Amino acid sequence: MQRLKNIACIAYLEWLSINRDKFLSAVVFLAVFLYLGLFGFVYCSGLLLDIPVAVVDQDHTPTSRDVIQKIAANDRLDIICYPQTTREIDQLLQANQVRAGIAIPENFEKDIQSGQPVRVSTVADGSNLIYTYNLRKAVIDINRSLGAEIMARTLVGTGMEPTRVENLLRSVEFVSESRYNPTFNYCYFLYLMLVVIAVQQTCLLGEGLTLAREKELNTWVQFALSPMSNAEIFLGKVLPYYLILLANAGLVLTGAYLFLRLPMHGSIFLLWLVFAVFALAIVSLGYWISSYCNDVTQATMIICLFNVPMVLCSGFTWPTASMAPILKYLGYLFPATWLMHAARAITMKAGGWDIVGCDILILSIMALFFVSGAIFSTRRLRRKVSPGNKNVPTSSPGPGSTAGTVT
């Protein structure tokens, strides 16, 4: 009972110091929502539509106009100009005014009628692959529907009955399905990762400072010399952050579900469990890091700078198998890797225990490791200021002593 009271006391103190530092409380409480609001505005559509393209029609016949109509009807493409020559397309591409140029060659209609092979060439901007892939999809769609149409016309031309032609064309059908994300929505793909970056960064920004701050203000000694156990100090200090992290994550995911229509196919309980274990790992990690940092500035910088490479290493976007051999296993060391894997499996693939059990196990082992590391580092820090140590400040700080007496 006394132990619980101790923990609650420290937690309350930490809560007060979060609230006292206006900037910190803004970071801890608001930054997550700021980030995710911003990211929401970025990815809210999730689909890339109306890509600006230029079409060069060198044929000017009903058939070529028909093709242009097909291009215009595709909702991924938006024809913004009709240059005269393909050279102009190059200039437009270079100036980022269009992202693709489609050129219909001369004698287009004549060649189709005489059964000559015809090539409509599409040049897409490869500098941003998101554009390129979407353009390719659009072109494949147009190609397919146009090809079938022309094929049907030629077959009818050979004297075949239209119904038979239709059957023939339908006989081989390749159907492609994008499982879990049928509309190729980028928001579904990336938003979860951004949630994890934002939650983790803001939590570490708060938590990573807890000991650094005490050390900087010289108030650490009050904890060090108190009769409380290492575990109590640790638990009390991380408790507020733990709860804030869980609350933030919960609110953000609910918001994403409600406003961005993020899929949520699996069990919410399982998702919550994964986040709970992850949060424990990350707050203990933050506490541990902060025990090594001498001042707040240092801790902040290190935490912020390594967030992005950490997420890139996780294999959430670029697959682990295609990374440099040294980095392949680096991602396995970060809790975020396992969290993101499990969260995606649960939300998008309705994965159950059989799929995410392994992730939860690894996260628990990590959490255990970080918690014990954090507790040991508390012990190490306390030893530094224990009465037996010669580096102890001269005036013995009791419960009533001020922070200023310690140098």
Q: Scan residues 170-199 and list those touching another protein (CB under 8 A).
A: 170-182, 184, 186, 188-190, 194, 197
Interaction of residue 258 with another protein, rule CB under 8 A: no
Stretch that binds another protein, among 30-38, 53-61, 223-231, 395-403 (CB under 8 A): 30-38
Output 42 or 72, the one with its CB closest to another protein. 42
| Contact pick of 124, 195, 235, 375 for another protein (by CB under 8 A) | 124
Q: How far is CA 334 from the centre of its chain?
A: 15
Interaction of residue 128 with another protein, rule CB under 8 A: yes
Taking alpha carbons only, the member of 138, 62, 64, 155 closest to residue 99 is: 138
Closest separation between CB of residue 312 and another protein, Å? 5
Stretch that binds another protein, among 28-36, 245-253, 371-379, 381-389 (CB under 8 A): 28-36
Output 93 or 371, the one with its CB closest to another protein. 93
Interaction of residue 275 with another protein, rule CB under 8 A: no
| Contact pick of 73, 130, 217, 361 for another protein (by CB under 8 A) | 130
Contact (Cβ atoms closer than 8 angstroms) between residue 137 and residue 76: yes
C-alpha radius of gyration, the chain, whole number: 30
**Cα distance between residue 271 and residue 120, in whole Å:** 49
Interaction of residue 23 with another protein, rule CB under 8 A: yes
Output 168 or 251, the one with its CB closest to another protein. 168
Both tokens of residue 151?
Answer: 């094929």
Paired strand residues for 77: 51
**Cα distance between residue 1 and residue 73, in whole Å:** 71
Interaction of residue 77 with another protein, rule CB under 8 A: no
CA dist list (Å): 124 to 65, 91, 99, 218, 315? 21, 13, 6, 61, 28
Output 55 or 228, the one with its CB closest to another protein. 55
**Cα distance between residue 253 and residue 36, in whole Å:** 10
CA dist list (Å): 62 to 67, 108, 155, 337? 9, 10, 20, 55
Output 109 or 232, the one with its CB closest to another protein. 109
As to burial, measured by CB atoms within 10 angstroms (0-12 exposed, 13-18 middle, 19+ buried), residue 209 is buried
Closest separation between CB of residue 276 and another protein, Å? 23
| Contact pick of 39, 223, 234, 370 for another protein (by CB under 8 A) | 39
Q: Scan residues 308-347 and list those touching another protein (CB under 8 A).
A: 308-309, 312-313, 316-319, 321-327, 344-345
Output 226 or 298, the one with its CB closest to another protein. 298
Interaction of residue 217 with another protein, rule CB under 8 A: no
Closest separation between CB of residue 151 and another protein, Å? 6
Contact (Cβ atoms closer than 8 angstroms) between residue 47 and residue 109: no
CA dist list (Å): 196 to 202, 300, 360, 362, 365? 10, 18, 16, 17, 19
**Cα distance between residue 94 and residue 105, in whole Å:** 22
Q: Scan residues 142-161 and list those touching another protein (CB under 8 A).
A: 142-143, 146-147, 150-151, 154-155, 158
CA dist list (Å): 225 to 5, 233, 239, 364? 18, 11, 21, 31
Interaction of residue 296 with another protein, rule CB under 8 A: yes
Output 9 or 330, the one with its CB closest to another protein. 330
Interaction of residue 355 with another protein, rule CB under 8 A: yes
**Cα distance between residue 174 and residue 153, in whole Å:** 21
Size of interface with another protein, in residues (CB under 8 A)? 116
Interaction of residue 291 with another protein, rule CB under 8 A: no
